[in-house]
Homo-oligomer: A and B are copies of this chain.
Amino acid sequence: MKTIYLDHSATTPALPEVVQTMIPYLREQYGNASSIYRIGRESRKSVEEARRQVANLIGAEPEEIFFTSGGTEADNMAIFGVVAACGEKGKHIITTRMEHHAILHPCEQLEKRGYDVTYLNPDPKGLLRVEDIKKAIRADTFLISIMHVNNEVGTIQPIEEIGLIAREKGIIFHTDAVQSVGKIPVDVKKLGVDLMSLSAHKIYGPKGIGALFIRRNTTIDPFIFGGGQERKRRPGTENVPGIVGFGKAAEIAQRDLPADMERITYLRDKLIDGILSSIPYTQLNGDRQKRIPNNANFSFRFVEGESLLLMLDMKNIAASSGSACTSGSTDPSHVLLAMGIPFEIAFGSLRFTLGKENTEEDIDYVLKVLPLIVERLRAMSPTTIQGQNGGDNKKEGTLCTTR
């Protein structure tokens, strides 16, 4: 039976057009894009065309796009690159506790090196308060990094307002847009950001390729050193097939955005409404309105996320609990905890992220299967309350007291 894939925030299948675009560059058009002979020049041309496609998707200039090996590298390049270039002028960085680990862990490294990092908490709906940013800014703040869309709860952060503040104060502003690009309109000019991280495999492009948008005249040093590729900002033989695949995916993302948004929002809302009405002791995590079209994140009390995932897997449904990279662990999501969701509720969370291939039948199937799975696991659980599956009886039960 085919997989009903509902984990598009972890990764997406590359589109057939993307794969078709890539294949020639894997074999016949193998020229090194930095070589001056014909097959090298052809690779160069395709790389520059892809750069234009990616730039278009986010309203940037092609010269402002630098290809990286993915979102993680783009995030590291942004943080460490700005620190290398301006870390002598300031010592304070502002970010949030709901960032991806590709931002949080570099920031922790910087703390070890003596930088001050302020980690702001989002509100209980998963939204950052702009006032918190204002309050956190110090005279020596030189970098603000706030994700555009959170990867777990899908909430859209007030980047435009923060951009105005950052610009006014002359602070470099980075946004991790790995989860927003291709899902909602993204325009670097409107958002007022200096740096933006992208990842191709989240927008139906290939894995292993991403980009950092660097606004012209932004003070940033390279992160990786070597040959002269990417105008010396990101050396290494260009991943031509990956880059052209990314370009194609960006072009398609731009073309399909309005239609995809509408269709996927409809399916997602059906999923949210269906689950909330059929499974008691369930909550939707993250603001219902300020969220990307494809995200539905739930907490089911009295069950644990990984068990849910595996039971769904046996029914050929692919979902996620917490972020993709930690879904092997049962630690509840750091994002939900930062939102102030109690441990025992975060513990039983499940993220569905819809995509292009999903149909209404997929959603119907999930709505049929999931209530039974939750019921089955709750029946095994020592912490459920009497009558919790009755639907009406919603008073709190005894919870695990040993923690």
Chain A residues near B (Cβ < 8 Å): 3, 5, 7, 10-14, 16, 18-19, 22-23, 26-28, 30-32, 34-40, 68-73, 75-76, 100-102, 105-106, 108-109, 199, 201, 206-209, 224-229, 235-242, 306, 309-310, 312-313, 316-320, 323-329
Most buried by B among A28, A102, A239: A239
**A69 near B26: Cβ-Cβ < 8 Å:** no
**CB-contact partner of A22 in B3, B18, B26, under 8 A:** B26
**CB-contact partner of A36 in B36, B224, B327, under 8 A:** B327
Q: How many copies does the complex hold?
A: 2
**CB-contact partner of A326 in B31, B201, B227, under 8 A:** B227
Query: Which residues of the other chain, B, contact A76 by a CB distance below 8 angstroms?
Result: 224-226
Query: Which residues of the other chain, B, contact A71 by a CB distance below 8 angstroms?
Result: 236-237
**CB-contact partner of A235 in B102, B209, B328, under 8 A:** B102
- Complex CA gap A17/B222 in Å reads 36
**B13 near A241: Cβ-Cβ < 8 Å:** no
Q: List 13 A-B contacts (CB under 8 A).
A: A13-B30, A22-B26, A34-B325, A35-B318, A36-B328, A70-B237, A72-B235, A100-B227, A101-B235, A207-B238, A209-B239, A227-B325, A229-B325
**CB-contact partner of A39 in B16, B69, B318, under 8 A:** B318
Query: Which residues of the other chain, B, contact A72 by a CB distance below 8 angstroms?
Result: 224, 226-227, 235-237
Q: Which residue of B lies closest to A226 (CB)?
A: B102
Q: Which residue of B lies closest to A77 (CB)?
A: B224
- Complex CA gap A38/B30 in Å reads 33
- Complex CA gap A101/B225 in Å reads 7
Q: What 4 A-B pairs have minimum CB-CB distances, sorted nearest first?
A: A208-B239, A227-B325, A69-B69, A72-B236
- Complex CA gap A394/B218 in Å reads 56
Query: Which residues of the other chain, B, contact A14 by a CB distance below 8 angstroms?
Result: 26-27, 30
- Complex CA gap A23/B13 in Å reads 12
Query: Which residues of the other chain, B, contact A101 by a CB distance below 8 angstroms?
Result: 225-228, 235
**A207 near B325: Cβ-Cβ < 8 Å:** no
Query: Which residues of the other chain, B, contact A23 by a CB distance below 8 angstroms?
Result: 19, 23
Query: Which residues of the other chain, B, contact A206 by a CB distance below 8 angstroms?
Result: 26, 239, 241
Query: Which residues of the other chain, B, contact A109 by a CB distance below 8 angstroms?
Result: 225
Query: Which residues of the other chain, B, contact A22 by a CB distance below 8 angstroms?
Result: 26
**B39 near A27: Cβ-Cβ < 8 Å:** no
Query: Which residues of the other chain, B, contact A16 by a CB distance below 8 angstroms?
Result: 27
Most buried by B among A106, A206, A225, A313: A225
- Complex CA gap A306/B36 in Å reads 9
Given contacts A12-B30, A241-B206, contact A102 B236 (CB under 8 A): yes
Q: Which residue of B lies closest to A234 (CB)?
A: B72
Query: Which residues of the other chain, B, contact A324 by a CB distance below 8 angstroms?
Result: 32, 34-35, 227, 237
* Distance from A352 Cβ to chain B, minimum over Cβ atoms (Å): 12
Q: Which residue of B lies closest to A72 (CB)?
A: B236
**A312 near B37: Cβ-Cβ < 8 Å:** yes
- Complex CA gap A209/B208 in Å reads 8
- Complex CA gap A71/B227 in Å reads 11
Q: Which residue of B lies closest to A318 (CB)?
A: B37
- Complex CA gap A13/B329 in Å reads 40
